[in-house]
Amino acid sequence: MKPSFFKNLGPHDLSTIKSEINCTADNKKNAEFTKLVGLTSLENNTISFLYDNQELKNYKFDNTINYAIICTEESSKKINKNIQKIVVKDVHHAVSILSNLFYREYSQEEINTFPSPEIGKNSIIQDKVIIENGSIIGSNVKICNGAVIKSGCIIGNNSFIDCNSVISNSIIGDDVKIGRNCSIGQPGFGFSIQRSNNENIFHVGRVIIQSRVRIGSNCTLDRGSFGDTVIGENTYLDNLCHIAHNVSIGNDCVFTGMNGIAGSTTVGNGVLSGGQVGIAGHLKIGNNVQIAAKSGVINDIDDNASVMGNPAVNKYKYIKQFKKTYG
């Protein structure tokens, strides 16, 4: 059986959960919960979470299955009374604690019990490459010295991975080229800020790189927290790009050197971004958007827009203001 990327430590009952976090909950439903998941992945006997700034209308709640929602007192009033609620003061801190209750990395001893790596025909694996058990490497793949392919990863046919890149928690399509010194699939920068002792969120998501993607040297792609980080087909990343957790980039995009995209932003198809662009988190960038170099994007951008500046605005508005100011 193919292993997953992490070990699930569930199920946990409500009394265990209440012993880990400061909360109030309805004890009438004494179910055991198998997983902590995002709202889009609710299933029977799971726990999810709702932040105060999330819109309930964006999610579907199935009243025929058993699950619980971690939320604040304010948000609990908006949730159907038939849904079990675990009420806390700080949702983010509760999620951080429970993520580590439900999940952990596999130990090396456990990885050693997984099936040996599968390597396809005509693939070239250089001498100083590490490929852990449970991984699947396609045909006509070349992996260069110093690269590390962690347990459970899938590398598609005709792909190339240059020296010293480390890939974990990732599924990579066909004809993907990854430059040297890349880090793909490590946990994202997600944690609860607590005085003297921040609490990391265990990231259970993956990095999904679709076919014909090019990733330059020294790029970093973080895996998702409770969803996936996705790079669409035929998208190119130049050197020194950082893609944070839960980011989704569409097809046929180009990001030149030193671009950074913060967590949970969605980028459409056909987006072109100049060098040293920064895109804030939780934004929606439309299709066929063009972003000038060194722009700072802090708001959603509509389809077919061209923007520049910091903060980034319509390029004609920016140019007009620039001429007015500087002549």
Residues with catalytic roles: 245
CA distances from 254 to 13, 68, 120, 243, 271 (A): 47, 41, 30, 13, 6
Q: Which residue has the tokens 């950074």?
A: 260
Q: Which residue has the tokens 């920016």?
A: 318
The residue among 265, 257, 320, 264 whose CA lies nearest residue 289 is 265
CA distances from 286 to 37, 58, 237, 265, 319 (A): 27, 19, 18, 11, 22
What lies within 8 Å, CB to CB, of 141 at 6+ separation is 119, 120, 123, 124, 125, 155, 156, 157, 158, 159, 160, 161
Contact, 35 vs 49, CB < 8 A? no
The residue among 159, 191, 212, 185 whose CA lies nearest residue 95 is 191
Helix (H) or strand (E) holding 75: helix 73-76
